[in-house]
Amino acid sequence: MSTIFISHSSHDNEAAESLKVRLQTWGYRSFFLDFDPEVGIPAGRRWESELYLNIKSCQAVVVLFSK
């Protein structure tokens, strides 16, 4: 499971990806982004239960707020 859960609106996918890259430059390596092809939520899965499962297993949550 991932260490950092990045919570965001789907309208902010670009900002979430940018934050992930910035955190990686600071040495962090384990993230959960729902749209990530490697660790995100695959098509056909129950997205709500997947989100709860991943948020419970993370050590930190970063929330991106927008309008």
Residues facing residue 9 across a β-bridge: none
pLDDT tens for the chain, residues 1 to 67: 679 999 999 999 999 999 999 999 999 999 999 999 888 998 889 999 999 999 999 999 999 998 8
Shortest CA distance to 33 belongs to which of 60, 13, 49? 13
The reported pTM is 0.85
Question: CA angle, 51 as apex, 50 and 53 as ends, to 5°?
Answer: 65
Extract the runs of DSSP E, i.e. beta strands, from the chain: 4-7, 31-32, 60-63
Residues facing residue 2 across a β-bridge: none
